[in-house]
Amino acid sequence: MRIHELQLQNFKRFTDLTIKDIPDTAQLVLLIGSNGCGKSCVFDALTPQFNSTSTGLLHDSNNKYFAKDPNSLPNVRIDTNNSVFTREGDNAEGTEKAKNIFYGRSSLRIPPRVQKPEYNASLDSIVTQNIDKPRYFIEHDNRFFTDVHSHAESISQSLQRLLVEGNSDKHGANKVREKYISRINNSLTNIFGDSPDKTLRFTVYKQPDPKKPIEPYFRKGDSEIPFEVLSHGEKQVIITLFNFLVRQEQLQDKIIYIDEMDVHMNTRLQFTLLREITENWIPASSQLWTASHALGFIDYARQSEAAAIIDFDDLDYDQPQVLFPEPKENLDILEIAVPSQFLQELLSEKRFVFCEGKDTARYNSLGLSHTLFASKNYNKFQVFIRARDTAAEGIIDRDYLSDEEVIDFERQFPFIHILRLYSIENYLYHPDNLAEVDGDSFDKAAYITALTTEKNRIKEDLIFGIQKAREGYPFNKELNESGRKAYAKSAGEILKMLQSDDFATFYKVFPAKDYGKQLPQRANRSPAQLAQTQWFKQQIAELL
């Protein structure tokens, strides 16, 4: 089940809001924006209560809750990959089916302690029929009480059945442990880490007084801790995981929406929680919607290919608005969590340089004064966009660029620095760099001869990939039409450089990171050690 498009008219704070073009691949839809921008209002449109065929919710005093203009009824249209749900005033289409499609959690779902469920129904009925859902999205969501007691009862009944059937062997017990305990504990490790003093492990249920509710206990370090004394952020994680575990059968083929999963969490925990929920708990047939202005959530959604980001910030909802998923390379979305002014002040005495791949450690090891390098396996395009949009700088591999192009592109895009050699490996394994490490024992002439032989052996293979590689460079998209034409025609200059046997010429465009690894002069060389030379430091310092 996937939502493709959502339209809200006269609904909550929206005069006319449309969210369009959500891709089929989006298993996560993240609504971002500052407090009060209307993110949570979208979830009201998904609630089965609103989609109910009962008109009572749309009239009288309740009309003030759903309608922006209380003199008119709100309209909602939800297009999914296999259904359309509409509510136009009192006319509803597909609303009976909608009751079984949408499953939401209010942000008000973290109680101080466990209580007994207060419903005249069995735990199984409460879970399967979702009896314990809140009536409105602004009400407390106490489904955790049902989840805890249902989870405890499932464990108890499973173990009792093993005993009665005479199957209480190690294999049977392991199956119960895997189904009801190990999955929770594995997720807690994924979220909190594997350090015993930081992660939580579910251990046991206790009920000292039969008149009181049972309570789950968790191990942290050497202590066994009841739920009620966990931190607010820890409770948030526990409540979310238990809900998914107990109701996993009810979450198949659903639109699942959970408001503010990130409250009371640090950035790293935000990231690992959303990753764990999205990748390991949301069924493949379902889609998760959540709202946040937390850096960890935004960062995960930016990195995930299965996520779409909708930006609600700085919009005038008195006017019709159409929102589309944000491009992942647009760093403006990060300002919702960390204002650029704050970053600039924080790094005011630092030169901030984005770089490609895993080169960060090599560059930072140089200890260049007031310079900080950063990367998350960025490619050239990502480095280019981040440097441009954040008033920072970027350093990228040269790859297949001519001397003239290197100089011209740096002139046009002064925030980008281009290595004068193919890649950082060309510097680390340069004869001058190796000579500084080995001293007089290094035979520079023999090494250059070996590199020239290697280049001539593979140059025909390289030639076929030159044009395609150049098409992926960010400059190709930023140049004007005449610039792009000139760029497309200049690949021949790279061919000439590779055909030359002059070392200083061909080595600029020779892929040393892929070829020449078998040369004895490179054997058992530590890149970390080679990055510590004065020669390498001087090359990068001059480049910047």
| Cα–Cα dist 126/431, whole Å | 73
Helix, strand, coil tally for the chain in percent (to 5)? 45, 15, 35
| Cα–Cα dist 261/240, whole Å | 8
pLDDT score, position 395: 94
22 in a structural domain: yes
Residues 75 and 142 in one domain: no
For residues 251 and 165, which has the higher predicted lDDT (pLDDT)? 251
Radius of gyration of the chain (CA): 30
Residues 297 and 344 in one domain: no
Virtual torsion, Cα 245, 250, 253, 254, nearest 10 deg: -90
Average of pLDDT values for 517-536? 89
**CB–CB of 463/495 below 8 Å?**
yes
* Domain stop point among 336, 361, 392: 336
290 in a structural domain: yes
pLDDT tens digits, one per residue of 351-369: 889 898 878 888 888 888 8
Would the pLDDT of 55 be above 60? Answer: no
| Cα–Cα dist 212/258, whole Å | 29
For residues 191 and 60, which has the higher predicted lDDT (pLDDT)? 191
Give the domain CATH number at 38. 3.40.50
Kindly give, in sequence order, each residue whose CB lies less than 8 Å from that of residue 26, ignoring residues fewer than 6 positions away.
2, 287, 306, 307, 308, 325
Structure tokens belonging to residue 322: 């159409």
Would the pLDDT of 56 be above 80? Answer: no
Residues 364 and 493 in one domain: yes
pLDDT band at 282 (very low <50, low <70, confident <90, very high): very high
**CB–CB of 260/291 below 8 Å?**
yes
pLDDT score, position 57: 47
Residues 396 and 497 in one domain: yes
pLDDT tens digits, one per residue of 378-435: 888 888 888 888 778 999 999 999 999 899 889 989 999 999 999 999 999 999 999 9
pLDDT band at 95 (very low <50, low <70, confident <90, very high): low
Per DSSP, the three-state class of 540 is helix
pLDDT > 90 fraction of the chain, expressed in percent and rounded: 49
106 in a structural domain: no
**CB–CB of 207/215 below 8 Å?**
yes
Q: Tokens 């560059």 appear where?
A: 363
| Cα–Cα dist 171/154, whole Å | 18
Residues 316 and 386 in one domain: no
pLDDT > 70 fraction of the chain, expressed in percent and rounded: 89
Average pLDDT, the chain: 86
Would the pLDDT of 85 be above 80? Answer: yes
Please, which contacts does 88-95 make with residues 24 or more away whose CB atoms are closer than 8 Å?
89/58, 90/55, 90/58, 92/51, 92/53, 95/51, 95/52, 95/53
* Domain stop point among 336, 369, 387: 336
CA 151, 155, 158, 164 torsion-angle sign? negative
Would the pLDDT of 34 be above 60? Answer: yes
Average of pLDDT values for 312-328? 88
**Among candidate residues 153, 140, 45, the one with its CA nearest the CA of residue 101:** 45
Per DSSP, the three-state class of 104 is strand
pLDDT score, position 237: 95
* Domain stop point among 201, 232, 248: 248
List the beta bridge partners of residue 232.
none
Average of pLDDT values for 76-91? 81
Would the pLDDT of 61 be above 50? Answer: no
152 in a structural domain: yes
Residues 264 and 237 in one domain: no
For residues 384 and 377, which has the higher predicted lDDT (pLDDT)? 384
Residues 315 and 454 in one domain: no
pLDDT band at 54 (very low <50, low <70, confident <90, very high): very low
Q: Which domain holds residue 41?
A: 3-101+253-336
Would the pLDDT of 321 be above 90? Answer: yes
pLDDT score, position 50: 59
**Overall number of domains in the chain:** 3
Residues 243 and 269 in one domain: no
Q: Tokens 């005011």 appear where?
A: 348
Residues 242 and 261 in one domain: no
322 in a structural domain: yes
pLDDT score, position 196: 83
Residues 373 and 518 in one domain: yes
Tell me which of 58-72, 205-219, 388-402 is least confident: 58-72
Q: pTM score > 0.75 for this model?
A: no
Q: What is the DSSP letter of 67?
A: B
Q: Tokens 């466990």 appear where?
A: 114
109 in a structural domain: no
- The H or E element spanning position 351 is strand 351-355
Residues 285 and 417 in one domain: no
**Among candidate residues 350, 542, 530, the one with its CA nearest the CA of residue 424:** 530
| Cα–Cα dist 352/349, whole Å | 9
Residues 316 and 351 in one domain: no
| Cα–Cα dist 471/493, whole Å | 15
